[in-house]
């Protein structure tokens, strides 16, 4: 098994042991282009990061502060995008929410309960996918549900339902090597959704795809999010992608990662990457991001 597959297997099998959290969600109404949230004061945040700091031990016996004093609240059903320069702690932040890392100080709350480890209420999707090449598409999608202990008939019905949602019904019995990159991403998405997590954590999932495939997946993800009402926390280094998808974009500073600014994106949906309003909003954020990228380049070149 490659390290990537080992990581996936670890994540998936940790669910079996992981506690299952209540999946009660705030009431919300969502039409094709409209989202109506209850008044914010009536609803506890779905995910809440309180004064989060995290440092890693380094080889030189020092500590590297990856995240410092992060405060962030994510509403139920929100599509939140996180951007920041490479190395600012974006992946680390998702791993904390997924329960794969432990913060040095502060608290991660999901539905007001402290995260103790991985759980079936949160699912992480990353760029390398971690699909199993020896399993069919259907078996890959069923894998997480099997770990969760769902009976065969339920698994089979859900595999059909979620393959339909990502438009891959006819590839039920194909193997992963027979699919394009975009189709593989959709299998990974179906596998994550099939376990019906409240929160989808996505770590630069489309970074390796060609532009047309990525555009299609943006449309699909936006539609699936609207249909399923999941909370999505989506990490990307691509500001335009963040504005295309997010209700809100959070910009992190270069190391140590701190919240530099939050931007509400209230452009109508569905949005398009090439839309002039999307481009305009992205330009403003990019100006702020550029400062942080310069700091990261300076740090790298003056080492
Ligand atoms: P990003 O996803 O924004 O590129 P990461 O969260 O992967 O950033 O990493 C943040 C910082 O923490 C980087 O400087 C990285 O080198 C460091 N880091 C990440 N994981 C580890 C680890 N397991 N041990 C030590 N340092 C790490
Ligand atoms: Mg990363």
175 touches ligand 1 (CB under 6 Å): no
Domain that holds residue 267: 3-17+77-97+120-301
Phi, then psi, of 130 in degrees rounded to 5:
70, 35
Ligand closest to the CA atom of residue 126: 2
The DSSP string of 188-223 is HHHHHHHT--SEEEEESTTTTS-HHHHHHHHHHHHH
Cα 191 to Cα 183: distance, rounded to the nearest angstrom: 12
Q: Give yes or no for residue 86 CB within 6 A of ligand 1.
A: yes
* Of 298, 204, 286, 296, nearest in space to 253 by CA: 296
Which one, of 164, 143, 172, lies nearest residue 155 by Cα?
A: 143
Q: Is 251 helix (H, G, I), strand (E, B) or coil?
A: strand
159 with 187: CB under 8 angstroms?
no
In a domain, 142, yes or no: yes
- Provide the pairing of β-strand 29-30 with 248-252: unpaired
Query: Is 57 inside any structural domain?
Result: no
Output the pLDDT for position 19.
Answer: 33
Counting the structural domains of the chain, the total is 1
| Separation of alpha carbons 88 and 84, rounded Å | 6
Ligand 1 pocket, residue 91 CB under 6 Å: yes
User: How many whole angstroms separate alpha carbon 270 and alpha carbon 100?
Assistant: 33
Q: How far apart are CA 44 and CA 111, in angstroms?
A: 7
Residue 171: inside a domain: yes
Q: Which residue has the tokens 């209850």?
A: 38
Residue 88 CB–ligand 1 contact under 6 Å: yes
Give the per-residue pLDDT at 163: 93
186 belongs to a structural domain: yes
Question: 38 alpha carbon to ligand 1 midpoint, in Å?
Answer: 36
The pLDDT of residue 220: 86
Distance 87 CA to ligand 2 centre (A): 7
The structure tokens listed for 272 are 């398009």
Q: Are 272 and 278 in contact (CB under 8 A)?
A: yes
Does 23 reside within a domain? no
Output the pTM of the full model: 0.85
3-class secondary-structure state, position 25: coil
Query: What's 144's domain CATH number?
Result: 3.40.50.300
Does residue 260 belong to any structural domain of this protein?
A: yes
Residue 2's pLDDT is 61
Give the ligand 1 atom nearest the CA of 237.
Answer: 3
Task: Supply the pLDDT for residue 127.
Answer: 72
pLDDT, mean of each 10-residue run, the chain (303 residues): 56 43 32 43 84 92 92 97 94 95 96 93 82 94 89 95 91 94 88 90 88 87 91 95 97 94 95 94 94 86 73
Task: Specify if 71 maps to a domain.
Answer: no
The reply to whether 214 falls in a domain is yes
3-state secondary structure at position 53:
strand
Gap between the Cα atoms of 148 and 18, Å rounded: 9
């Amino acid at each position: 098994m490659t390290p990537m597959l080992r990581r996936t297997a670890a994540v998936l099998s940790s669910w079996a042991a992981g506690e299952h959290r209540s999946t009660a969600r705030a009431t919300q109404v969502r039409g094709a282009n409209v989202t109506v949230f209850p008044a914010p004061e009536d609803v506890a945040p779905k995910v809440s990061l309180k004064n989060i700091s995290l440092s890693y031990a380094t080889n030189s016996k020092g500590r590297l502060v990856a995240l410092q004093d992060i405060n962030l609240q994510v509403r139920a059903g929100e599509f939140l995008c996180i951007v920041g320069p490479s190395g600012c702690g974006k992946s680390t932040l998702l791993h904390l929410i997924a329960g794969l890392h432990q913060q040095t100080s502060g608290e991660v709350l999901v539905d007001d309960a402290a995260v103790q480890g991985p759980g079936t209420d949160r699912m992480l999707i990353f760029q390398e996918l971690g699909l199993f090449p020896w399993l069919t598409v259907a078996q890959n999608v069923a894998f997480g549900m099997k770990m969760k202990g769902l009976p065969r008939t339920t698994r089979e019905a859900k595999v059909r339902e979620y393959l339909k949602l990502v438009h891959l019904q006819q590839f039920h019995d194909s193997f992963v090597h027979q699919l394009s990159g975009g189709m593989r991403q959709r299998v990974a998405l179906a596998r994550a959704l099939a376990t019906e997590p409240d929160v989808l954590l996505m770590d630069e999932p489309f970074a390796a795809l060609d532009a047309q495939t990525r555009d299609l997946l943006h449309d699909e993800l936006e539609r699936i999010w609207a249909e399923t009402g999941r909370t999505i926390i989506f990490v990307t280094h691509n500001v335009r992608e963040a504005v295309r998808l997010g209700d809100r974009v959070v910009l992190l500073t270069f190391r140590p990662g701190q919240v530099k600014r939050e931007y509400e994106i209230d452009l109508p949906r569905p949005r398009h990457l090439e839309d002039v309003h999307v481009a305009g909003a992205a330009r403003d954020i990019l100006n702020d991001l550029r400062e942080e990228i310069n700091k990261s380049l300076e740090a790298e070149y003056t080492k």
